[in-house]
Structure 1
Amino acid sequence: MSEYPQASGPVDAVAPTELAEQLRTGEPVSVLDVRNRADAEAWPLSGAAVTTVQIPYYRFVEADVTDAVDDLAREVREALDEPVLVVCGRGESSAYVAELLEAEGLAAANLDEGMRGWARVSHTVEIETDSATVVQYQRPSSGCLSYLVVSGDEALVVDPLRAFTDRYVAAARDHGVELVAAVDTHVHADHVSGVRDLRAATDADVLLPAGARERGLSFDARLVGAGDTIEVGEVALDAVALPGHTTEMLGYRLGGLLFAGDTVFLESVARPDLEAGDEGAPDAARRLHATLSALDDDRLIAPAHFSDAARPNDAGAYVARMGDLRGRLHALSLAPDEFIDFVLADMPPRPANYEEIIAVNLGRESAAADESFELELGPNNCAATRAADAD
């Protein structure tokens, strides 16, 4: 039996995929978040056209008991345009609240499956290249980006999410190709990697940076170093060292495109403290500055993350020329010492459960699929948000 009070009747439900389409098109969305304040502030349902009010669901329970729901409905109506989308963690307490509001004549709907349903949403966009088909997978709940590269009769995935394993497999099947490799640019701290699940599902090779061994890698994988080449179909990806966010970070060049991992984003640069810690962060930031300074202006950057501040291109893909990023990110114009001070001045909270996620991704700890999904719920926080100063 649910721990939440039950709604007295059905209420309109908005599928997470429908919400994603609304946000992509810029349609205004009014959100009533009935989670507790800490959860609502740590992981908001956000977007450029989203207006949110947070009122915890227990206040609605109390109001229902005391016949005071009309007061809360008035508070919501004064703060938000209708219709109002009610949001919680699993879509249960929010269904109850939406029903109460509907009974007071306020147009309300429930986000089906709540934020956990939102975390399962992905959207795909093709990136135009001369040599291969590249599909960008976007996860709006956490801003994670991964990539399917298709050439000839083969495909590989860069930075796969475990939660989306079946989607990569289905996409390769739809393209009529064999998925031959699953590649991580680095040991991720914000989501559980899908490389081993893809190997189990397709017999694909698992490719990881050689430096992952020094970080404690404890499962079999093909180790890749800077200068190595990965062949897929009729093209080759060249591995490039990109230290800074982590010591082992590798990027992969495909013609003029660079899969840059967590090095630079459209609205920020990587945070340097997740591996190095507070004491080692200045040195890591200095390495990151050198890495960024060496990137060619003409290189098309395909990052591993995006945020609400990022703006996709006309096709909807989160990619940008490095020269354009230099023109709009203040951090990229700074000398090394200034860059270090700027990036470290106001770091966001570390990703939730990041140490456990790293341990899982290294194979030092295990987690079932449902457990790994719970571990990564929330924002990614892999960027140094003080650097998110694009014009």
Structure 2
Amino acid sequence: MTDDSPADESSTGAANGAAADSGEDVPGVDPATLQRRIDAGDPVRVLDLRNRDEVEQWHLAGPNVSLTQQPYNRFVRARVTDGIDEFVAAVAGEGPITVVCARGEASAEVAAGLLERGHDAHNLTGGMDAWARLLLATEVDGAVGGDDDALVQYRRPSSGCLGYLVASAGAAAVVDPLRAFTGRYVADARERGVEVETVVDTHVHADHVSGLRSLAKATGATPVMPERAVERGVTGDVTTVGDGDTLDVGDLAVEAVHAPGHTTGMTAVAVGDALLTGDSLFLDGVARPDLEAGFETAEAFARELYRTVTDRFSPFPGETVVAPGHHGEGAQPDADGVFAAPLDECRQSRVFEMGEDEFVAHVTDRRPSRPANHERIVAVNLGRESVDDEAAFELELGPNNCAAAPADD
């Protein structure tokens, strides 16, 4: 089951109003429909009007996405000089052009101009702002308990962030919620007839503003974090768990599995036949070890990460469903729309064939960009800094950048 609902009704209204405000009656594609096309592997031809640095930071991606960055003023010059055909010829790919900008206004104008000259084009309704407000929910079939139990994977395509709802016997826990979608989790729980009793963060996140506090406040649920994460200076009333501790969610037992390496407090969550690995083991690689304390201590963190994926996860049987905390840019879900795989399949990756020293060299060799505004995001998630909802949303725009390198790279 897949639910492509936006974050809330107001974001849909803002998105749908963007094209209307432009004064152009142009065809539009909503973010959920476009993402389904990308996930299906359909060819998608994108013209992005934002500045180059913005496009390089985050953009629509997928195996069959052709992306061309052309600033809006270049279109204006082309229109004035009767050069629209040449402008279109420079757009990579074939087929209809999906025009993209920040909020869907300039892109509506450009799409209209292309249509006037006979070129097939449409506007991404609401622009990248609307795409960032898209949250997809898909049930992970067969991962937990009986008929009344469910594991739902939440996916934010714009950043690759994955979170989860565990539901059983009228109760629910939400793992790694995003603050921007607090209302969505509440609405989904209500629709399922369950009450959110527990909210869990697997670690102190550096790439997005956590919904731990906002969701706990909205539902009266207990906020839970790993004890090692709280030791980093988390403020406020938070219940802590250590390795092997369990939480009851209806008829299900949710177990904390200490999984350091990405951070000192990173903790996976075992429930039913699933292992929610957070930022430790991904389907296509492992987490980066430098975000908590910098590159100077990355080697020590990498050695902990090696022990996590090789030793701490070794007791779990091969059929355990690995449900990670992120997916890579442009990655495609399985046929059911889920990013999950059996642990045995993950163990086929090259990192499991490496000795400790080779593994450490592999994950510390590269130094990818850090998540946008990561220091402020960490401060907010620790409770040391307060920001309003819109500021929180703006802080986390862009890719997650929490992976070290693909496992087979």
Q: Helix, strand or coil for the counterpart of 1:146?
A: strand
Task: Tell me, in whole angstroms, the C-alpha distance in 2 between the residues paired with 1:267 and 1:258.
Answer: 16
Measured after TM superposition, the shift of residue 370 of structure 1 is 0.8
Q: Hey, what does 1:320 align to over in structure 2?
A: 341
Query: Which amino acid letter does the alignment assign opposite residue 271 of structure 2?
Result: L
Give the gaps of 5 or more residues in structure 1: 1-5
8 Å CA contact retained: 1:331, 1:343: no
Q: Hey, what does 1:374 align to over in structure 2?
A: 394
1:72 pairs with one of 87, 102, 121 = 87
Task: Tell me, in whole angstroms, the C-alpha distance in 1 between the residues paired with 2:407 and 2:76.
Answer: 40
1:179 pairs with one of 161, 173, 196 = 196
Deviates more, 1:209-218 or 1:57-66: 57-66
Task: Tell me, in whole angstroms, the C-alpha distance in 1 between the residues paired with 2:185 and 2:24.
Answer: 38
Q: Helix, strand or coil for the counterpart of 2:90?
A: helix
Measured after TM superposition, the shift of residue 313 of structure 1 is 3.4
Q: Helix, strand or coil for the counterpart of 1:82?
A: coil
Q: Hey, what does 1:115 align to over in structure 2?
A: 128
Measured after TM superposition, the shift of residue 8 of structure 1 is 6.3
Measured after TM superposition, the shift of residue 240 of structure 1 is 1.0
Give the gaps of 5 or more residues in structure 2: 1-20
Task: Tell me, in whole angstroms, the C-alpha distance in 1 between the residues paired with 2:332 and 2:122.
Answer: 28
Measured after TM superposition, the shift of residue 220 of structure 1 is 1.2
2:46 pairs with one of 19, 31, 34 = 31
Query: Which amino acid letter does the alignment assign opposite residue 123 of structure 1?
Result: L
Could you list the structure 1 runs, at least 4 aligned residues long, displaced by more than 6 angstroms after superposition: none
Where does 1:253-264 land on structure 2 (aligned, <5 Å)? Answer: 253-264=270-281
Task: Tell me, in whole angstroms, the C-alpha distance in 1 between the residues paired with 2:324 and 2:386.
Answer: 27
Task: Tell me, in whole angstroms, the C-alpha distance in 2 between the residues paired with 1:261 and 1:347.
Answer: 21
Q: Helix, strand or coil for the counterpart of 2:36?
A: helix
Query: Which amino acid letter does the alignment assign opposite residue 129 of structure 1?
Result: A
1:304 pairs with one of 325, 331, 349 = 325
Q: Hey, what does 2:307 align to over in structure 1?
A: 290
Question: In angstroms, what is the RMSD of aligned CA positions?
Answer: 1.6
Query: Which amino acid letter does the alignment assign opposite residue 103 of structure 2?
Result: R
Q: 1:74 to 1:254 in 2, by over 3 A?
A: closer
Task: Tell me, in whole angstroms, the C-alpha distance in 1 between the residues paired with 2:30 and 2:24.
Answer: 18
Aligned length: 381
Task: Tell me, in whole angstroms, the C-alpha distance in 1 between the residues paired with 2:29 and 2:164.
Answer: 28
8 Å CA contact retained: 1:181, 1:205: yes
1:190 pairs with one of 207, 212, 226 = 207
Q: Hey, what does 1:361 align to over in structure 2?
A: 381
Measured after TM superposition, the shift of residue 70 of structure 1 is 3.6
Q: Hey, what does 1:199 align to over in structure 2?
A: 216
Encode CA deviations 1:353-384: one digit per residue, 9 max, x unaligned: 11111111111011111111111111101001
TM-score (structure 1 length as normaliser): 0.93
Q: Hey, what does 2:17 align to over in structure 1?
A: none
Identical positions, percent:
49
Task: Tell me, in whole angstroms, the C-alpha distance in 1 between the residues paired with 2:121 and 2:133.
Answer: 23
Q: 1:34 to 1:388 in 2, by over 3 A?
A: farther
Q: Hey, what does 1:3 align to over in structure 2?
A: none
Q: Hey, what does 2:173 align to over in structure 1?
A: 156
TM-score (structure 2 length as normaliser): 0.89
Q: Helix, strand or coil for the counterpart of 2:281?
A: coil
